[in-house]
Each structure stands twice: as C-alpha cells, then as structure tokens.
Amino acid sequence: MINIALYQPDIPQNTAAIIRICACLGINLEIIKPCGFFFDKKKMNRIYLDYLNNCNLKFYESYDDFILKKKQSRLILLTTKSQNNYTKFIFDKNDTLIFGKESSGVPKNIHDNIKNKLTIPMTKNVRSLNIASSVAIVGSEVLRQINL
C-alpha cells in the first residue's frame, strides 16, 4: 500500500486532517520527527476524533531513521519547486510520497537527494495549497492509478 510521509509537521490541525484522509482512503501515514507540536493522543483526541484508531500510523525519530528503513521504497517529494506534474507520473503501490513541513518544506539537502519531485499545478501568484488538500489530491490520483 502507498505511504504518505510528513516531514516534521508543524501544524496539528493539518496533521489531524491528513490522519482523517489516510484513514478514509486506506493510505499508510508516516511521520518523520520532530513534530512542531506535542503529539499526544489523549490531548489531541478532539482534533483526531476516532480517525487515529483507523489510521495505519508510523513514526520515525529522524530523517536518517526514515531513510534507513525506506530502502525498498521509491521516494517521491511533493514540492512547489518542480515542473513535473503529478498527473503525468506513473505511481506504484510501494511508493512513499513525502510532504514537507508546512512552514518551510524540506531542507535543500533532502530536496536535492530525492530523485522524483512532483508538483500540483496551480495558478500564478499563489504560494501553495494546504498540505492536507495536497495529500488528498495526490493520494486520490495514486489510488486511481493503482486501481484501489
């Protein structure tokens, strides 16, 4: 099954929305620490509702830990700094789609080291879509392509 990886997410409401999306679509969610907020199930229950119980969620202590354990997965970075349209890419069921931190994306060294970089085309004069919207858009396309 495909994986969505959030690199050091820093807005809990966005992470909650992505948990809900992944639970509803049957997509695995991976979070690369550190988070910009305290991830506590009890305190966050109001935000996550019962979707956290239905989401296949995995944490990595660092990006290095993530890379070590993802050697068998093709990594794909979703970024505004790419000309490669996500709809023109052929996805595979073992892919891991990485979404950067809401406030700053991923560091340059990570951006430079990931071969596959995709973007969601947008109109000019706008910065970016909300990360949860981006996860829903690209996640749906991946599921469509792999016929799930």
| pLDDT, tens digit (0-9, with 9 covering 90-100), for 43-98 | 566 666 678 888 899 999 999 999 999 988 999 999 999 999 999 999 999 999 99
Supply the pTM of this predicted model.
0.93
Query: Selecting from 3.30.460.10, 3.60.15.10, 3.40.1280.10, 3.20.20.70, what CATH number does the domain 3-145 have?
Result: 3.40.1280.10
Q: What is the pLDDT of residue 51?
A: 81
Q: What is the pLDDT of residue 39?
A: 73
Give CA separation, 112 vs 22, 83, 92, 107, 115, in Å: 27, 15, 22, 9, 8
Domain boundaries, the chain: 3-145
pLDDT at 128 over 90: no
Q: Which of 29, 33, 49 is nearest to 41 (CA)?
A: 49
